Amino acid sequence: MKDNKIVKLSLVLFLVCAIAAGVLGVVYNLTKPTIDRRALEKTTAAFAAVLEAESYEVVDTGAYTLDRSVNSVYKASDGSGYVVESTFSGAQGNITMVVGVKSDYTCSGISITEHSETSGLGAVAASASDAGVAFREQFIGVGENVTVKDIDAIAGATITSTAVTNAVATSITTVKTIEGGAAA
């Protein structure tokens, strides 16, 4: 008698799980195109904010020894520079950002695309607030030797400020490596 109850309960639990998994699969398939489209729009906007170009071509970085924080590198079709996407450790998790690097090896702009920094502190770096915009704008024109001492760090967010500064310096170094042909 007890064995029948266990089998019956197990069968009911299995059916509930199977139905839930099926529903999740259907919802995923219905929402995936929208999610992918929004991610592409976000990436396109970030690229345009840091280095305006008609289009960008992926650079094959396999032949180069690059910093492990560099996710991908794109070259502007008009030859004006590169966009480097990288992920660095912040105070509360990873910070993913894109950095525009002009052909003279200076930063043309930065855009933080993902982060989990503390609201009101490190999150200011990515915000549309005056403080966030001012923080990001000070990187325009800097070179690969920029350090956190060269910028006005966000008050209470030294780790975030350092991570962003390191990402800018690493991005410029990455482009120099690619342009100079320093293969692995």
For residue 95, the one-letter residue type is: I
pTM score, whole prediction: 0.78
Burial of 124 (0-12, 13-18, 19+ CB in 10 A): buried
* pLDDT of 183 strictly over 70: no
Pair type for strands 81-89 and 56-58? unpaired
* pLDDT of 182 strictly over 60: no
* pLDDT of 13 strictly over 60: yes
- Which is more confidently placed, 123 or 86? 86
* pLDDT of 77 strictly over 50: yes
**Cα separation, 140 vs 102, whole angstroms:** 10
Residues in the chain, how many? 184
Cα dihedral 62, 66, 70, 74 in deg (nearest 10): -60
* pLDDT of 184 strictly over 50: no
pLDDT interval class at 62 (50, 70, 90): confident
